[in-house]
Amino acid sequence: MKKSLFILSLSALLVLAGCGKAGNVVEYNDSFVSIVKECTDSTQELFNVFQAESSTLDAISESLENSINVCKNSESKASKMWDFDKDSSLKDAVVKLLSTEVYYLEKFWSTSRYRNIDNITDEDRAAYDSLVSDLYLAEETLNNQFSSLQQAQELFAAKHWLKLE
């Protein structure tokens, strides 16, 4: 009887330990989802302001500055997260995405000095065209990073028995 009780207790502890780990992996994943959401929500708000007909240049600039700060803060939070079971794949993908988002927003910011120029010189036009080209490349890189993050999250979930919604 003692032996059966011991085995039953040990089995219960192992099951509980496994459930605890599953709960931790869910929390870990959800933390990164929340961190990325902070940044993407602020960027979405920026583009809502940018596309609104009534938005002023000052409102756009303020929203852009806010979005850059939010995304930098999100990147910092993600960088400080721990590795799950010595696996940094999800964290690394999130940090890379957020870093790319900040880069994209900073490129977007650099085009703002050309917004109200009525008569643009050929030299300024060349500089502006180069910035816009860089911005499009940054946007493409950002879109690729979103895909890379999704793949990293799916691989992480499979490795740690996490069911994604």
pLDDT band at 23 (very low <50, low <70, confident <90, very high): low
78: nearest Cα among 67, 62, 63, 89: 89
Least confident of 18-22, 106-110, 156-160: 18-22
* Tokens at 67, concatenated: 């979005």
Angle at 160 between CA 157 and CA 161, to 5 degrees: 75
The pTM for the full model equals 0.82
pLDDT band at 7 (very low <50, low <70, confident <90, very high): very low
Q: Residue length, the chain?
A: 165
Query: Can you state the angle between helices 57-80 and 2-51, rounded to 10 degrees?
Result: 160
Domain ranges of the chain: 21-159
Q: What is the pLDDT of residues 55-96, one digit of tens each?
A: 888 999 999 999 999 999 999 999 999 999 999 999 999 999
